[in-house]
Structure 1
Amino acid sequence: MPLVRIDAMNADGDRLHALGRAVHEALGETIGSPPDDLFQVLTSHHGERSVLRYGQYLGVPRDDGVVFVEITLRAGRAPEVKRALYRRIAELAQAYAGTEPRNVLVTLIQNASADWSFGYGLAQYEPGG
């Protein structure tokens, strides 16, 4: 059910896949996302035609290793579950892709069951689709 968008600076295919794996595993471990629920858009920005901009907001010293992770999912998770998700993404991004946890920025976009269609023009999460 989550739709994940990952944007990274100067990331090759291996790094993008490692970041995608990190987020997918963290979603499974913390919110119970099924293994076959894999919907990701992975993008590398090289500074010519696409750029990522970042600052040192809240005193976090980011650099060109920055990774933006945007997760769209159904609402309803408790704050402690969200915090566990953020922590686990940062841990696995470091383990799999060598990304320093300080460079992992995660945002959640929450919506309702009726806001999803997985194909065939149906709202699979809603009664009567």
Structure 2
Amino acid sequence: MPFVRIDALHADSARLDALGRAVHDALVETIGIPDDDRFQVLVGHDGTHSTIRYGDYLGVRRDDGIVFVAITMRSGRGPDRKRALYRRIAELAHAYAGTEPRNVFVTVTENASVDWSLGDGVAQYAPSAEPVVDG
């Protein structure tokens, strides 16, 4: 169950939606998440009231088309699957939103099953064997 946050400079709701679809489709294709497992926060920055900073680190020439994609997911995917994920996100962000692949910056943070509560105050992926005591 990935949780995705996408921050994009000068992005309207249509571009944000396209970027969200690109990331979700890439996760389904490369990581194998279920199609209905979509939890995203999509944020557009106007450059005045909120903005994004970026540079040309490692020789990648970024510009105002920059998109930051932060994915939090349970651990267990190997390096090859992650590389495939990054590549597919860049491809689909270009196809769906017109974002140049050089402007797609992706980070993955992994954690354990117990680090997730999908609602109701319950760790659905790591249920407790201990009874809940009121009081």
**Is the pair's TM-score, using the shorter chain for normalization, greater than 0.5?**
yes
Q: What RMSD over aligned residues (CA atoms) do the two structures have, in Å?
A: 0.9
The residue number in structure 2 matching 1:84 is 84
Following superposition, the deviation at residue 76 of structure 1 comes to 1.1
CA distance in 2, matches of 1:60, 1:25: 25
CA distance in 1, matches of 2:47, 2:24: 27
CA distance in 2, matches of 1:119, 1:128: 15
Q: So what's the TM-score if we normalise by structure 1?
A: 0.98
Q: So what's the TM-score if we normalise by structure 2?
A: 0.93
Percent of aligned pairs with the same residue?
70
Which amino acid letter does the alignment assign opposite residue 77 of structure 2?
A: R
Q: How does 1:8-47 map to 2 (within 5 A)?
A: 8-47=8-47
Ranges of 4+ aligned residues in structure 1 off by more than 3 Å: none
Q: How does 1:77-116 map to 2 (within 5 A)?
A: 77-116=77-116
What residue ranges of structure 1 are gaps of 5+ in the alignment? none
Tell me which structure has the larger Cα radius of gyration. 2
CA distance in 2, matches of 1:105, 1:55: 11
The residue number in structure 1 matching 2:61 is 61
CA distance in 2, matches of 1:42, 1:118: 19
Q: How many residues align?
A: 129
Deviation digits for residues 77-117 of structure 1 (CA, Å, limit 9, x no counterpart): 10000000000000000000000000000000110000000
